[in-house]
């Protein structure tokens, strides 16, 4: 026979309202990016809690996930061409010089046209498709979630939700109007338009998520957002015990320290120059870069010892996780040149239990605060004493089995973020 407390808990559980979530995001799987990885984790968590989830996306779907409904809106032929060209370009190595030159030329022409004339960003034509079909979708939902990058996802959600007026959660990745480098459009032409619509959406949203507190405060000040609707929607990842076992079983006694970097570089946002200078302070090391062709071009502008630097194309996420835990002493994160953006990859790194070296370019790098929470995150700068750092790193190698997975799950798991959303 159930106790009164057990009966009460059952009543609370049964009475808890299950919601229908509509997630509008131009990018979704199978396209791989920090935002698609984030929202696949969150979608899975929502479904596990009993919620119904529909994803409306501009990413062509090859198959349907049985747990969610995925709706593709857009021109599938044009989408396939763009994806194909992107994949071919990212898969090229430095030996394919002629193809590399052709793809670089195509990219420059494409980016010139898009960055100077498209609004709000490169997904302008997807927005036109959404506008055309918005009244034919017959969507049933209780909560709308819109995800950027790109900003067009918020506009698409606004168009769909305008007459319905359901609660609206905005998940803001990188800044839009406040992005000072590598802006999403021609700010000279569209600066006022950018600010008008971004401010308008913040006034209509029920809740706005920013990746870290500095970004939240800057946007509150600039757009006069009601602070009570803002939330720090921190980067998330999933702790996996089998990956941590691989981390612990790695041979850390090898004198040639192997570093791994998985990500991209962008002019004016994230560059490798200062980190490379720091890395040269190590005498014996191997640096393995898993990057796209644009990032390799940025790296190759530096004087690199070819015997120590190894270049690889991007790999699928599951393969990357295997490489992170089985192939390297340390994982490398390089900070942004502004405090408004946070490299989400650093949280995924931390979840492996591996030593993570984050190179901070600025004093107010938001990742610095995370280092107070986890011993396997090391913050270094161009002024770091290499001998002290080596001593600290070797000490950590001997204590590799002390990662606090419970603390990680409490702070950076999908469930930790869902708790901030599940309020309607």
**In this predicted structure, what is the pLDDT of residue 265?**
86
Same domain, 185 and 284: no
Q: pLDDT value at position 14?
A: 45
CATH number of the domain encompassing residue 374: 3.40.50.2000
Residue at a domain's end among 214, 233, 252: 233
Q: How many domains does the chain have?
A: 2
Q: How far apart are CA 103 and CA 383, in angstroms?
A: 39
| pLDDT value for 187 | 87
166 and 255, same structural domain? no
Q: Could you report the per-residue pLDDT of 266-312, keeping only the tens digit for each? A: 887 888 889 998 988 888 889 999 998 888 888 888 888 888 999 99
Last residue of a domain, one of 202, 233, 264: 233
Shared domain check, 171 and 285: no
Residue 421 lies in a domain: no
Residues 226, 245: one domain? no
Indicate whether 102 belongs to any domain: yes
Q: Provide the whole-model pTM.
A: 0.82
- Residue-wise pLDDT tens digits, 392-417: 999 999 889 889 999 999 999 999 99
Residue 106 sits in the same domain as residue 129:
yes
Range of the domain at 56: 18-233
Amino acid 209: pLDDT? 95
Helices 241-249 and 317-327: angle between axes, nearest 10 degrees: 30
Same domain, 225 and 186: yes
One domain, residues 331 and 266:
yes
Q: In this structure, are 171 and 249 located in the same domain?
A: no
Q: What is the pLDDT of residue 157?
A: 96
My answer on whether 256 and 346 are in the same domain is: yes
Q: Which residues of the chain have pLDDT under 50?
A: 5, 7-15, 79, 81, 424
2 falls within a domain: no
Predicted confidence at residue 91, as pLDDT, reads 54
Last residue of a domain, one of 190, 217, 233: 233
Same domain flag for 274 and 223: no
Query: Residue 289: inside a domain, yes or no?
Result: yes
Q: Tell me: do 65 and 178 sit in the same domain.
A: yes
Same-domain pairing of 77 and 94: yes
């Amino acid at each position: 026979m159930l106790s009164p407390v057990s009966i009460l808990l059952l009543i609370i559980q049964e009475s808890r309202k299950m919601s229908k979530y509509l997630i509008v995001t131009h990018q979704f799987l199978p396209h791989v990016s920090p935002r698609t990885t984030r929202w696949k984790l969150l979608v899975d968590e929502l479904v596990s809690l009993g919620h119904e989830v529909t994803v409306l996306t501009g990413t062509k779907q090859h198959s349907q996930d049985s747990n969610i409904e995925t709706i593709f809106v857009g021109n599938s032929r044009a989408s396939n061409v763009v994806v194909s060209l992107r994949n071919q370009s990212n898969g090229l190595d430095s030996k394919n010089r002629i193809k590399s030159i052709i793809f670089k030329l195509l990219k420059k022409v494409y980016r010139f046209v898009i960055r100077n004339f498209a609004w709000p960003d490169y997904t302008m034509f997807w927005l036109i498709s959404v506008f055309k079909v918005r009244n034919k979708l017959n969507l049933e939902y209780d909560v709308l979630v819109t995800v950027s990058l790109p900003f067009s996802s918020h506009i698409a959600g606004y168009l769909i939700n305008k007459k319905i007026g359901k609660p609206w959660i905005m998940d803001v990745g990188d800044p839009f109007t406040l992005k000072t480098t590598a802006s999403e459009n021609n700010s000279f032409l569209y600066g006022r338009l950018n600010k008008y619509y971004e401010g308008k959406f913040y006034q209509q949203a029920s809740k706005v998520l920013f990746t870290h507190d500095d970004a939240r405060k800057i946007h509150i000040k600039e757009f006069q957002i009601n602070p009570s609707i803002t939330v720090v929607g921190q980067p998330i990842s999933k702790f996996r015990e089998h990956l941590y076992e691989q981390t612990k079983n790695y041979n850390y006694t090898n004198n040639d320290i192997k570093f791994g970097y998985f990500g991209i570089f962008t002019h004016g946002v994230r560059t490798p120059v200062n980190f490379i200078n720091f890395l040269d302070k190590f005498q014996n090391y191997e640096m393995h870069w898993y990057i796209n062709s644009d990032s390799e071009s940025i790296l190759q502008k530096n004087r690199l010892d070819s015997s120590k630097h190894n270049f690889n194309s991007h790999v699928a996420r599951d393969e990357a996780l295997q490489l992170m835990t089985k192939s390297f002493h340390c994982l490398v994160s390089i900070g942004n040149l502004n405090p408004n953006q946070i490299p989400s990859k650093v949280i995924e790194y931390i979840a492996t239990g591996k030593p993570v070296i984050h190179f901070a370019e600025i004093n107010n790098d938001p990742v610095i605060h995370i280092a107070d929470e986890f011993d396997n995150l090391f913050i270094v700068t161009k002024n770091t004493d290499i001998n002290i750092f080596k001593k600290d790193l070797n000490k950590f190698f001997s204590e590799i089995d002390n990662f606090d997975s419970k603390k990680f799950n409490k702070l950076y798991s999908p469930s930790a973020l869902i708790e901030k959303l599940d309020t309607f």
